[in-house]
């Protein structure tokens, strides 16, 4: 029964930015994400650690489906694979999920990149839908960051 509550939603989108440039936004300059994706991310603050260290804890303020929410995460950084994992610790998603782990993984593709976006999760109960609205938000954030780079 408990395994029915665990899942993963994922998608891929092509972006123009090279993998390292996109990864760097989360790796070293996460405080610029609200400027690049302001429709979705209103703010981010370091709670423990700093902007650049593996294991640092950040609190994000975001909007999904017109509602303002917050998410506290511990970042896992994989420099070799240009992959950022946000391990959920606290926040609004935990009203519906026992665990929540968004992943941004960017790989080279042609002149740009392929952004592989996913969320590993465990629902609190069987009535909770998969977190597709959060995956859609990740897609929109990724597109906004890519546009920000093109317009910079």
How confident is the model at residue 41, as a pLDDT? 97
Residues of the chain with pLDDT under 50: 1
Domain locations in the chain?
6-151
Give residue-wise pLDDT tens across range 114-147: 999 999 999 999 999 999 999 999 999 999 999 9
Distances (CA, A) of 34 to 64, 97, 121: 14, 25, 24
pLDDT at 35: 96
| pLDDT value of position 4 | 85
pLDDT at residue 152, as a whole number: 77
State residue 2's pLDDT score.
56
CATH topology of domain 6-151: Alpha-D-Glucose-1,6-Bisphosphate; Chain A, domain 4 (3.30.530)
């Amino acid at each position: 029964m408990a395994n029915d509550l665990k899942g993963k939603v994922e998608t891929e989108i092509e972006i123009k930015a090279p993998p390292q440039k996109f990864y760097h936004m989360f790796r070293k300059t996460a405080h610029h994400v609200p400027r690049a994706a302001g429709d979705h991310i209103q703010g981010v603050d370091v709670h423990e650690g700093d902007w650049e260290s593996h294991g640092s804890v950040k609190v994000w303020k975001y909007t999904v489906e017109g509602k303002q929410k917050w998410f506290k995460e511990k970042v896992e950084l994989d420099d070799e694979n240009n992959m950022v994992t946000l391990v959920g610790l606290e926040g609004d998603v935990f009203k519906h999920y026992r665990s929540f782990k968004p992943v941004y993984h960017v790989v080279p593709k042609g002149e740009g990149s392929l952004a592989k976006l996913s969320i590993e999760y465990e629902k609190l109960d069987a009535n909770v839908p998969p977190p597709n609205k959060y995956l859609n938000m990740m897609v929109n954030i990724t597109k906004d960051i890519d546009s920000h780079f093109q317009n910079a």
